[in-house]
Structure 1
Amino acid sequence: METLKIRRAVESDAEAIAEIYNHAITTSTATFDTEEKTADERQRWLAEHGDNYPVIVAELDGEVVGWGSLSRYGERPGWKFTVENAVYVRHNCRGRGIGKLLLEKLIEEARMLGYHCIIAQVVGGNEASFKLHERAGFETAGVLRESGRKFDRWLDVILMQKIL
């Protein structure tokens, strides 16, 4: 029987995090990043997140198969109680509830850290992410029409939010 564990990310997870993210960069519009990230870049990114902006991983039988993060939403002081979430699951492990568990843990972490609002920026057409967030209680706050461009297409971004 497979064992799934959600835990805080550590430096040694950077390579797996980069691998999962790079697949999304090169094959999907889930992120507007267009350049692959190295494990070293992901290690620096992890260090920058610190305790107030956790990065978590899903480990299946000892192997990292997904990750999630809470990030600063805006630089100005008025945004300090709002965070943005990200959830990525390895392409061959999707549809197994891993994203749901990661998002649930991020919501729990956000509450414990005293945040008031979580924002998700979901690219139009990413039905899996939209449904994941909707099922977790996120509501659509607005749509930024044709605000991103990737793979020679203009893409909408659906702003979703959850008040904690």
Structure 2
Amino acid sequence: MRLRSATTADAEAILEIYNLEVLTSTVTFDLIPRTVDGQAAWLAERRGAYSAVIAEVDNEDGTPVVVGFGSLSRYRERAGYATTCEDSVYVHRDHQGEGIGSTLLTELVALATDHGFHTVMAKIVGGHQASIALHERAGFSIVGREQEVGRKFGRWLDVVLMQRMLAPKS
């Protein structure tokens, strides 16, 4: 597996992973699948400190295939939150349980540290034990729960708030 910075050329591969979650799961609260143009615009915003990373492997004929992606985003718009970011990690369903999520999250934490962030936040739908465990293994702690803040598939959804403090760069 290789990690690299995402580019707009990765829009369709990311859509394949992300839109399946939009349509069939509660791991994202998006209700409408993204378009290629919308995904390309999202990727164009992921530069510098708020970057996106791709995990890829070679398929049987040697061509690279995107098997996961992760990103850092603004936590909140107000200037006082500038030293806090939020992570997102998505892994293709055919490749879950292979360590891809852990590798992506480790890279995102390293990028956040390198860019001088003070802390990384994660918002995870309540009950998504795999993502909660992934974040705990990466040094995140549960710091709160937002009750019934989302609604999807006719259900109210909680959000578990997790946080990892970052060590300052030496």
Assess if the C-alpha contact under 8 Å between 2:51 and 2:71 holds in 1.
yes
Assess if the C-alpha contact under 8 Å between 2:49 and 2:111 holds in 1.
no
Matching residue of 1:80: 82
Structure 1: how far apart are the matches of 2:113 and 2:81? 16
Q: Please list every run of at least 4 consecutive aligned residues from structure 1 whose deviation after the TM superposition is greater than 2 angstroms.
A: none
Structure 2: how far apart are the matches of 1:39 and 1:127? 30
User: Kindly, what percent of the aligned residue pairs are identical?
Assistant: 51
Structure 2: how far apart are the matches of 1:133 and 1:116? 17
Greater shift, 99-108 or 48-57, is seen at 48-57
Task: Count matched residues.
Answer: 161
Structure 2: how far apart are the matches of 1:50 and 1:103? 17
TM-score calculated relative to the size of structure 1: 0.96
Match status 1:56 vs 2:53: yes
Structure 2: how far apart are the matches of 1:39 and 1:108? 29
Q: Which residue identity is paired with 2:65?
A: E
Q: Which of 29, 36, 40 is 1:39 aligned to? A: 36
Q: Which residue identity is paired with 2:41?
A: R
Matching residue of 2:13: 16
Structure 2: how far apart are the matches of 1:47 and 1:33? 19
Local SS of the residue matching 1:105 = helix
Task: Write out aligned runs for 1:92-131 (5 A).
Answer: 92-131=94-133
Structure 1: how far apart are the matches of 2:115 and 2:49? 7
Q: Which residue identity is paired with 1:37?
A: R
**CA displacement at 1:29 relative to structure 2:** 0.5
Unmatched tracts of structure 2, length 5 or more:
59-63
**CA displacement at 1:14 relative to structure 2:** 0.7
Unmatched tracts of structure 1, length 5 or more:
none
Matching residue of 2:158: 156
Local SS of the residue matching 1:145 = strand
Assess if the C-alpha contact under 8 Å between 2:19 and 2:33 holds in 1.
yes
TM-score calculated relative to the size of structure 2: 0.93
Q: Which residue identity is paired with 2:161?
A: L
Assess if the C-alpha contact under 8 Å between 2:87 and 2:121 holds in 1.
yes
Match status 1:28 vs 2:30: no
Structure 2: how far apart are the matches of 1:97 and 1:48? 27
**CA displacement at 1:110 relative to structure 2:** 0.3
**CA displacement at 1:49 relative to structure 2:** 2.0
Local SS of the residue matching 1:49 = coil
**CA displacement at 1:77 relative to structure 2:** 0.8
Matching residue of 2:61: none
**CA RMSD, Structure 1 to Structure 2 (Å):** 0.6
